[in-house]
Amino acid sequence: MEGPAEIVMPDGSVILCERPVMALCTCRRTLRAPFCDTSHRRRLRGGDKQAKTASRGASRVPRGPAEEAETS
């Protein structure tokens, strides 16, 4: 949704978000309520390696995929 906006929390407190576009958490798993922190993402054990390696499209993957790039 579009900001800036004031968000009224369940306890009545108000949080001001000055970001021009923001993402409110709708999955209730975020650790940074009321905002989405990507905790909604699917988690996988082991099996994801294939999918991830595939997404890398590279035969040479050093030690299993690194999960991060630069911050952006």
Question: Can you read off the two tokens belonging to residue 25?
Answer: 């958490």
Contacts of ligand FES in 35-54 (CB under 6 A): 36-40
User: How many Å from the N-terminal Cα to the C-terminal Cα in the chain?
Assistant: 20
Site of interaction with another protein (CB under 8 A): 18-23, 31-32, 35-38, 41-46, 48-49, 51-52, 54-72
Residue 26 to residue 52: CA distance in whole angstroms: 26
Least Å distance, CB 16 to another protein, is: 13
Residue 29 near ligand FES by CB under 6 A = yes
Least Å distance, CB 67 to ligand FES, is: 17
54, containing H or E segment: helix 48-56
